[in-house]
């Protein structure tokens, strides 16, 4: 898997950049919340460690882990419409 951008599954806003870095994690899942419509991205399966970056439309607020799923919480950047 390579780098990608999380898009909201509802409104298509770019939510976060996912950048792989060396080092394996136990197999996990990750998704990003959408600050524009309250929905979220689809859940991705990941195996490597990673960096999360902001997009033009979001800032990263926090990264939480719940039941083996990383949840990226975001706040609004530029208005997405």
User: Distance (Å, rounded) from C-alpha 56 to C-alpha 68?
Assistant: 28
Apex CA 6: angle with CA 29 and CA 59, to 5°? 105
- CA dihedral sign of residues 10, 62, 72, 78: positive
Is 36 near Zn ion (CB under 5 A)? yes
Residue with smaller CB distance to Zn ion, 35 or 50:
35
The interface region with Zn ion, picked from 5-13, 46-54, 57-65, 71-79 by CB under 5 A, is 5-13
The interface region with Zn ion, picked from 6-14, 17-25, 46-54, 66-74 by CB under 5 A, is 6-14
Please report, as residue ranges, which positions from 9 to 28 form the binding site for Zn ion (by CB under 5 A).
10-11, 13
């Amino acid at each position: 898997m390579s780098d990608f951008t999380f898009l909201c599954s509802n409104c298509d806003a770019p939510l976060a950049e996912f950048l792989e870095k060396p080092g394996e994690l136990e197999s996990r899942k990750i998704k990003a919340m959408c600050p524009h419509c309250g929905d979220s991205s689809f859940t991705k399966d990941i195996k490597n460690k990673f960096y999360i970056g902001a997009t033009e439309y979001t800032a990263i607020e926090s990264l939480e882990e719940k039941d083996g799923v990383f949840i990226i919480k975001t706040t609004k950047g530029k208005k997405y419409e």
